[in-house]
Structure 1
């Protein structure tokens, strides 16, 4: 399985766990009387399922974005693209610039 697919699946699982904890905290703390609405409605379970599903989408997207952005900042740890020593230094080159006089 490709590395990015594994990273995405792991991000979705972490996002789902965070979403479940977030919805549990919302219901436990009775934010905006959500617990009351869920428990006293016949379709309250649907609201909980939708909260978990949509928060899973949001939290997994954030987890995946954080993971991808962290990979861009650090050099690869192994493989063909690993650095040998330091990356080559770039020399500064003077470039002559000509400007037209202002009128």
Structure 2
């Protein structure tokens, strides 16, 4: 298996683990009366699963993005490419009022 795929799977598992801990803390501390709502509902397990799954998607994406950005070379600056220097110059644009004939054409 390619190294990038291994890294992706590893970070997705870490992200879903963090999401599980996050949802467990939400339920443990009863944030917004969530534990009471989930424990008294007949669809409480589905709600907890969806809460964990959706947070898992977000945390897995963040975890993988952090891992990729952490791979950057910390000693040097940008690698490759030539720096582009822009010099903006003002450009004069003439603004003319429309003629009487142009105004009449617009009204039609």
Instruction: Answer yes or no: same fold by TM over 0.5.
Output: yes
C-alpha change, 1:2 and 1:74, in structure 2 (3 Å) is farther
d(CA) in 1 for partners of 2:74, 2:45: 43
Which residue of the partner structure matches residue 35 of structure 2? Answer: 35
CA distance in 2, matches of 1:73, 1:30: 43
* 1:72 positional shift: 2.0
Structure 1 segments of 4 or more deviating over 6 A?
Answer: none
Structure 2 match to 1:3: 3
- 1:10 deviates by 0.5
Q: Unaligned 5+ residue runs, structure 2? A: 76-108
Taking the TM superposition and a 5 Å limit, the aligned residue runs for 1:92-103 are none
What do you get for the CA RMSD once the two structures are aligned?
1.2
The structure having more radius of gyration, on CA atoms, is 2
TM-score, normalised with respect to structure 2: 0.66
The equivalent residue for 2:52 is: 52
Structure 1 Cα separation of the partners of residues 37 and 15 of structure 2: 25
Q: Which consecutive unaligned segments of at least 5 residues does structure 1 have?
A: 76-103
Distance 1:11 1:34 in 2: 28
Cα offset, 1:74, TM superposition? 4.6
Q: 2:10, 2:55 → 1: CA distance?
A: 16
Count of residue pairs the alignment pairs up: 75
